[in-house]
Amino acid sequence: MKRIFLPLAAVFFCSLPAGPAVPVIRMEETDERPKVAETGKLTEFESSGKSSSPRGSAAGRLAAGKDFRWTPSQIEGRATGGADIREILLSADESLLVMAERIGGENKPNSTRFILVSLRDKKIIRAVTLKERRITAAAFIPGTDTLIAAESAQPEFGRDNALVRIDLKRGKISAPSRSEEAPVTSLCTDGEKVWYTVKDSTMIRELRLDAFSAEPGSVRTRATDPRVSLSPDGSRLVAFGKGMCEIFKTSADNLAALQQSFETAGTFSPAQILVLDDRASSLVLVEPAKQAALYLNGSSKTLTEKCGPVAAFFKEENMLLLGLLKNDAIAKIPLPGAEPEGKPVVPGKLKPASRNGNLKLLALSGTPARAVLVDSRANVMLLEITKRRWKKTPVLTVDKTGFR
């Protein structure tokens, strides 16, 4: 008689009762949704007192009735450290400073946190966190507590390159504009329209805010890697970039129309601009760490060959404050001349002294001349500019590293 031997495993499985098939789990089907690293820290407390900001001011309207303690996210890979701040804005009534903080680090999934600081109360009055949103630029829509902002794509979260509106009171984003093929590099708005540029394009996009999801109009510029800004009254649009600066007249009904253009030095690649008058006949163009130049009706004057990252203009005094690369100093330059008045001032040497660099300078109206200075660690100070001695007053201290 012939004997048949079955392997032990086969006998075991054949003896099991019949049941539903066990699904095969593939590794690619178990991938989890990416997570944004929790960089920085924000803690909320019950308010210790009422806001002293006027009720009708931006700071008065947006005060949340809470107190906050904030430790900013840090920029990775920089030996001297520094807060990871993407944008800094001042409300039209100058009562509120808004800082947009990137959460999660560079080249990683990001969220964005907006820190709202009352300049009168000298404290954080509201914080708005937009989860899984990478905001890179923003501007106040005039007459509102809403921002128009550029959002960069994060495919892992289903986000495209687009414009969004951010309601700071509600802490929410409205529906985005139509998607763009590349990240938005600059934007500006007069409250009716928004003009913006995108990476690797020589077209200026123009979009009505009341038709936000529509196809934008477009105007070509000859500037390389262009950026845009508006004149103080919104009547002129300035496109600037390597080799070229162009001035357009804006219109409520039609696309912006080119009025004037002039060439800049071939190696000059400005990334910042101050439009000093309503006709955009006076401009300051800045390429940080390199040149800053004053353009008057198309003719240029070099202000410095080694410019720092900050600049501010005071209309009443017709005076420019310009950051210098050496020692993070700031020069005071009466216009239309190009020569500094007195010796440059190093804000870090004013009490309380620090070794922190300059990040943003914003001019305030009124007399005496005053400016808001944000340092590289997101500390906020008020500068009073006088002929003899400048005064520095802390508004918000979040990181004392570098103070001495």
pLDDT bracket for residue 94 (50, 70, 90):
very high
Distance CA 297, CA 186 (A): 24
State mean pLDDT over 187-194. 98
pLDDT bracket for residue 23 (50, 70, 90):
low
Mean pLDDT lowest among 3-17, 366-380, 382-396: 3-17
pLDDT over 80 (residue 1): no
Phi, psi (rounded to 5 degrees) for 9: -65, -40
**Do the Cβ atoms of 321 and 300 come closer than 8 Å?**
no
> Residue 168's Cα: distance from chain center in Å?
15
pLDDT bracket for residue 51 (50, 70, 90):
confident
Identify whether 352 is preceded by a cis peptide bond (ω within 30 of 0): yes
pLDDT over 80 (residue 2): no
Q: How many residues does the chain have?
A: 404
Task: Give burial (CB, 10 Å; 0-12/13-18/19+) of 354.
Answer: buried
183, two tokens: 């990240």
Helix (H, G, I), strand (E, B) or coil at 157: helix
State mean pLDDT over 270-295. 97
Q: Where are the beta strands (DSSP E) in 104-235?
A: 111-118, 123-130, 134-140, 146-152, 162-167, 172-173, 184-189, 193-198, 203-208, 217-220, 224-230
pLDDT bracket for residue 288 (50, 70, 90):
very high
369, two tokens: 């001349």
Terminal C-alpha separation, the chain: 99
pLDDT over 80 (residue 136): yes
pLDDT bracket for residue 50 (50, 70, 90):
confident
pLDDT on residue 5: 42
pLDDT over 80 (residue 93): yes
pLDDT over 80 (residue 13): no
pLDDT over 60 (residue 255): yes
State mean pLDDT over 365-371. 94
pLDDT on residue 115: 98
pLDDT over 80 (residue 401): yes
pLDDT over 50 (residue 29): no
State mean pLDDT over 275-291. 97
State mean pLDDT over 155-182. 96
Amino acid at 137: A
State mean pLDDT over 388-404. 93
> How distant, in Å, are the alpha carbons of 40, 269, 282, 311, 370 from that of 320?
34, 21, 12, 7, 12
State mean pLDDT over 297-303. 92
pLDDT bracket for residue 81 (50, 70, 90):
confident
CB atoms within 10 A of CB 67: 15
Q: For residues 123-133, b (16+ Cβ closer than 10 Å) or e, as one string?
A: bbbbbbebebb
Identify whether 368 is preceded by a cis peptide bond (ω within 30 of 0): yes
The residues facing 66 across adjacent strands are 46
CB atoms within 10 A of CB 221: 24
pLDDT bracket for residue 79 (50, 70, 90):
low
- The percent of residues above 70 in pLDDT, for the chain, comes to 91
pLDDT bracket for residue 21 (50, 70, 90):
low
State mean pLDDT over 290-309. 94
97, two tokens: 């400073």
Helix (H, G, I), strand (E, B) or coil at 110: coil
Please report the DSSP string for 360-381 in residue order. EEEEE-SSS-EEEEEETT--EE
- The percent of residues above 90 in pLDDT, for the chain, comes to 84
Nearest-CA neighbor of 385 among 364, 368, 372?
368
Q: Average pLDDT of the chain?
A: 92
Q: Look up tokens 């951010």; give the residue.
A: 166
pLDDT on residue 236: 98
Q: Look up tokens 């906020």; give the residue.
A: 380
Nearest-CA neighbor of 394 among 402, 384, 385?
384
Sequence-separated (6 or more) residues with CB below 8 Å from residue 248: 204, 219, 236, 237, 238, 239, 256, 257, 258, 259
pLDDT over 50 (residue 30): no
State mean pLDDT over 184-210. 98
Distance CA 166, CA 219 (A): 26
Long-range contacts of 218-226 (CB under 8 A, 24+ apart): 218/255, 219/248, 219/255, 219/256, 219/258, 221/246, 222/246, 222/261, 224/269, 225/185, 225/269, 226/186, 226/197, 226/202
